[in-house]
A and B are shown apart, each in its own frame.
Chain A
């Protein structure tokens, strides 16, 4: 491993400097898979991550990896998975990404097994697959309800075996450019606060999402939109930023755990949603678009678990945007649970041993954090900010952004999931596009040979000054206070249900937060100082929040993870358009761009039932 002690190898910039072919930012599923792919393609690779290796947000993924392996239902194939994904995204997905994803996911799952993952098995000894919202067949390869942990541990162990360099607890604050090309990255060690410079012709962004800008979220502190903001600042474009997924089922009580995820597998395994009157309200919330494939009575819905060919799926397993909106309106109508959610009941429907075996983490989580025994009583759940569909605009096949040498994969990339992501499609996305981005970054670096773009002293100096600013300003704002105000504002004005006046108000408030954030003060010194770390993450959070609000204001329709109270229906015209955001001179600009056109043979899949 490269010597990572502070102050070891230095260069003309005066900082510790390392040269690589590919630098991957982020060590979740996408970052680790990208690094393995780039390494296998012969590149010298570094992974740079904000936390310790193995702690990335991927560990929180519960349900499984969607892949049409057909182990449980032989009728399943990539075309069905592709169709489910496109319909779940309300047809706004980049069709080519959805196609590649559906085609390659099974291979990527088998690869994990080859590297040591222990998936749950079918009675034939194959990888077991479970039901999830929006998927026609049982399709999610899983390990109980801790699939994300299995995935990250497997990839982490692979990275260690291959001897890939990992810079842990190291945060990238700026990307460096030589003309129009990426030439490096500027970072600091969290432990010592010292700076380091990566010289690299390619950077793969795998930084995950933006959920920490919301008050109620399933996301960890790391989800501050770093990759989104770095891409914008480097000249790349973002698409679909108005689409934010609120997972229908987050914990609502006690307050300290509000937002923590309750896996959709609870519904996949037989759980149902009820309001305070005991009614399964999802039957009243089946949209026209999904009517043909959704059961309209409890008897049929209950039969579906055992006989999927002759029955339609329960409405609790509609795509997440539909379920989250329905829960939201039940609560607003006064039919919520005591702590402001609705009831998720599996206790009355499945025996205790089944629940403990299929949902061990959920059992543990409710028992230890809420004193609720989910095998004996219903859970209380409500929507929680979970995922951003929007992200860096990339080439479907290669993961390349619009800036040369800059790639993106996983949640930070946009397009794959359209306006709403299906559960289980995230872990598969990380594997499929992590690998593609890693490979293509390695190829790009290889083609370049020894003629590498240069890192300029001036850019490095500017990056260092920028990073140290919070120590030099005195009497400024506390970053924790601004973060709290931002979370409150996004939750209040740019949440599940949006309207013009509130979005306009959010932009005004964001402007004033931006002004306050120009003058941040942190106490203490550079050694492991969370106040300083937050001060450097905060501008990224503010920037992506502005992108979300701006795009949400422009898109005058409701679709997937974007619901406008003043435009409650999807519009045909908006259904053919992406919103593209770019930054220039510190200002965000936004333009409409037609969706890539799906070829005829794929379009046919939507004409058959």
Chain B
């Protein structure tokens, strides 16, 4: 069931580059990363590509396949016609290091700006008690594998480098929301999310949610609730009423 696949891979570095053509033998059931590895092993030993687990769990092999931000290891060749040429380019939002590898340090810098988790003290027996229903919202966000595809696709920074200094991006809105919704966290992160992290710049086009390989509902479950929390509730009777009802329900549960 094997066939010869035509690929166009971006080769180059900070000073520039171009798409190079390769034809490589592929087998049934393979993913784009397999094809790239075979090019690397047989035709271009120095072809740079970042990867680790090859199972969709580490989020290293992010790139753009036919213009769409995806994980190379989770994109199956069977998604394409055998005669179709597959074009792979590096993530556009981050500076290129070489070939398909980009400099993602922007994300690591933004991570440093998130204030640490600050829990309430434990119970007398040393345990901290939390209900499954209360940790589940945070758990959804902690599925994030930090592939940074949401950052790559986000139009606030995709073609606007100058926004990067004041915008943390969807991955970190997820983190702020996770901490804000943590049953035991004692910090109030709303001001920070709105100010330094630039939550207000997001106009909820949901592109991030669309590309998330973990299917996290970034916009609906993290960004929109954070925006709502940021809004001063006293000025909005509907949000005010909603929050009262919610609290009563929570009281009934415990």
A204-230 interface bits toward B, Cβ cutoff 8 Å, 1 = contact, 0 = none: 000000000000000011100000000
Minimum distance in angstroms from A182 CB to a CB of chain B: 28
Minimum distance in angstroms from B142 CB to a CB of chain A: 6
Given contacts A54-B146, A113-B128, A528-B98, contact A368 B54 (CB under 8 A): no
CA A150 to CA B143, docked complex, whole Å: 8
Minimum distance in angstroms from B207 CB to a CB of chain A: 21
Tell me whether B212 is interfacial, beta carbon within 8 Å.
Answer: no
Contacting pair B29 A59 (CB below 8 A):
no
**Segment among A81-89, A411-419, A519-527, A598-606 that sits at the interface with chain B:** A519-527
Contacting pair A118 B101 (CB below 8 A):
no
Supply 11 A–B pairs (Cβ within 8 Å), ascending by A. Answer: A51-B58, A57-B52, A59-B145, A114-B119, A143-B142, A161-B116, A191-B97, A253-B29, A368-B74, A524-B46, A528-B98
**Segment among B104-112, B149-157, B190-198 that sits at the interface with chain A:** B104-112
Question: Which residues of chain B from 136 to 193 have any CB-CB distance to chain A below 8 Å in the complex?
Answer: 138-139, 142-146, 179, 182
Minimum distance in angstroms from B105 CB to a CB of chain A: 8
4 closest Cβ pairs, A-B complex: A254-B29, A524-B46, A125-B129, A531-B45
Tell me whether A124 is interfacial, beta carbon within 8 Å.
Answer: yes
Q: Which residue in chain A gives the minimum CB-CB distance to B42?
A: A480
A83-120 interface bits toward B, Cβ cutoff 8 Å, 1 = contact, 0 = none: 00000000000000000000000000010011110111
Minimum distance in angstroms from B94 CB to a CB of chain A: 12
Given contacts A364-B56, A524-B46, A531-B45, 4 further A-B contacts (CB under 8 A): A121-B135, A146-B143, A480-B41, A529-B48
Tell me whether B239 is interfacial, beta carbon within 8 Å.
Answer: no
Given contacts A113-B128, A531-B45, contact A59 B53 (CB under 8 A): yes
Question: Which residues of chain A from 252 to 282 have any CB-CB distance to chain B below 8 Å in the complex?
Answer: 253-257, 260-261
Question: Which residues of chain B from 62 to 120 have any CB-CB distance to chain A below 8 Å in the complex?
Answer: 74, 76, 97-99, 101, 103-104, 108, 111-112, 114, 116-117, 119
Question: Which residues of chain B from 25 to 58 have any CB-CB distance to chain A below 8 Å in the complex?
Answer: 27-31, 34, 40-42, 44-58
Q: Is the interface of B mostly helix, strand, loop or mixed?
A: loop
Q: Which residues in B have some Cβ–Cβ distance to A below 8 Å?
A: 13, 27-31, 34, 40-42, 44-60, 74, 76, 97-99, 101, 103-104, 108, 111-112, 114, 116-117, 119, 122, 126-132, 135, 138-139, 142-146, 179, 182
Contacting pair A126 B145 (CB below 8 A):
no
- Determine the chain A residues whose CB is within 8 A of the CB of B139 once the complex forms: 118, 120, 143-144
Given contacts A480-B40, A530-B40, contact A523 B46 (CB under 8 A): yes
Q: Which residue in chain B gives the minimum CB-CB distance to A62?
A: B57
Contacting pair A60 B57 (CB below 8 A):
yes
- Determine the chain A residues whose CB is within 8 A of the CB of B130 once the complex forms: 118, 121, 125
- Determine the chain A residues whose CB is within 8 A of the CB of B182 once the complex forms: 116, 118
CA A191 to CA B48, docked complex, whole Å: 10
Q: Which residues in A have some Cβ–Cβ distance to B below 8 Å?
A: 51-57, 59-60, 110, 113-116, 118-121, 123-128, 143-144, 146, 149-150, 153, 157, 160-161, 168, 191, 220-222, 253-257, 260-261, 361, 364-365, 368-370, 478-481, 484, 522-525, 527-532
CA A530 to CA B28, docked complex, whole Å: 26
CA A484 to CA B129, docked complex, whole Å: 50
- Determine the chain B residues whose CB is within 8 A of the CB of A257 once the complex forms: 29, 54-55
Contacting pair A55 B55 (CB below 8 A):
no
Contacting pair A124 B129 (CB below 8 A):
yes
- Determine the chain B residues whose CB is within 8 A of the CB of A115 once the complex forms: 117
CA A120 to CA B112, docked complex, whole Å: 27
Choice from A59, A125, A128, A157 contacting B57 with Cβ under 8 Å = A59
Given contacts A125-B130, A530-B46, contact A369 B74 (CB under 8 A): yes
Minimum distance in angstroms from B103 CB to a CB of chain A: 8
Minimum distance in angstroms from B176 CB to a CB of chain A: 13
Q: Which residue in chain A gives the minimum CB-CB distance to B77?
A: A256
Contacting pair A157 B117 (CB below 8 A):
yes
- Determine the chain B residues whose CB is within 8 A of the CB of A523 once the complex forms: 44-46
Given contacts A118-B139, A125-B129, A260-B54, contact A532 B46 (CB under 8 A): yes
CA A481 to CA B38, docked complex, whole Å: 11
Given contacts A54-B146, A115-B117, contact A254 B132 (CB under 8 A): no
- Determine the chain A residues whose CB is within 8 A of the CB of B138 once the complex forms: 118
Minimum distance in angstroms from A534 CB to a CB of chain B: 8
CA A522 to CA B44, docked complex, whole Å: 10
Minimum distance in angstroms from B113 CB to a CB of chain A: 10
Contacting pair A52 B60 (CB below 8 A):
yes
Contacting pair B55 A256 (CB below 8 A):
no
CA A191 to CA B105, docked complex, whole Å: 12
CA A361 to CA B145, docked complex, whole Å: 12
- Determine the chain B residues whose CB is within 8 A of the CB of A161 once the complex forms: 116
Contacting pair A116 B53 (CB below 8 A):
no
Contacting pair A220 B53 (CB below 8 A):
yes
Choice from B48, B58, B114, B128 contacting A55 with Cβ under 8 Å = B58
Contacting pair A254 B28 (CB below 8 A):
yes
- Determine the chain A residues whose CB is within 8 A of the CB of B122 once the complex forms: 110, 114
Residue among A55, A57, A527 facing the most chain B CB atoms (10 A cut-off) = A55
Contacting pair B45 A480 (CB below 8 A):
yes
Contacting pair B27 A528 (CB below 8 A):
no
- Determine the chain B residues whose CB is within 8 A of the CB of A55 once the complex forms: 52-53, 58-60
